[in-house]
Amino acid sequence: MGRGLTTLGAVLLLATLALWIGDAIGATNGLDPSLSGWTLKGGAALLAAGLFLRVLYPVGRRVVHGRCAVCGHPVERGHTYCRDHLQETVNSYRDQTRDRMLRGDKNHSSSS
């Protein structure tokens, strides 16, 4: 969303510049002179809002994190899963590794 607002703001600022150039060379005879003021204000506001949202996006992402990826319960800082689902994931990985070792699968075993 921030990227879209930033782009729209930049387009409005370019439109303002085009209106000023057109006014300077006399090509904007039928346009309202206050139009360039509105495009300037709107473009600046949209550009500022877009940049503000783009700065806040990483902060908001950090605030949202802190919940288990499976059940949504709060987790410790830096963790993805709650204790129960972390243990479940570790057990599943351990079972898969044990099965590969028993089958003699050389693709995923450690090399020396």
The fraction of the chain above a pLDDT of 90, given in percent, is 36
Over 60: is that where the pLDDT of 110 sits? Answer: no
Domain residue spans in the chain?
A: 2-64, 66-107
Q: What is the mean pLDDT of residues 50-69?
A: 78
The model carries a pTM of 0.53
Per-residue pLDDT of 14-44, as tens digits, reads 999 998 888 888 777 777 778 888 999 999 9
| DSSP-assigned states of every residue in 34-85 | THHHHHHHHHHHHHHHHHHHHHHHHHHHHHH-SB-TTT--B--TT-SS-HHH
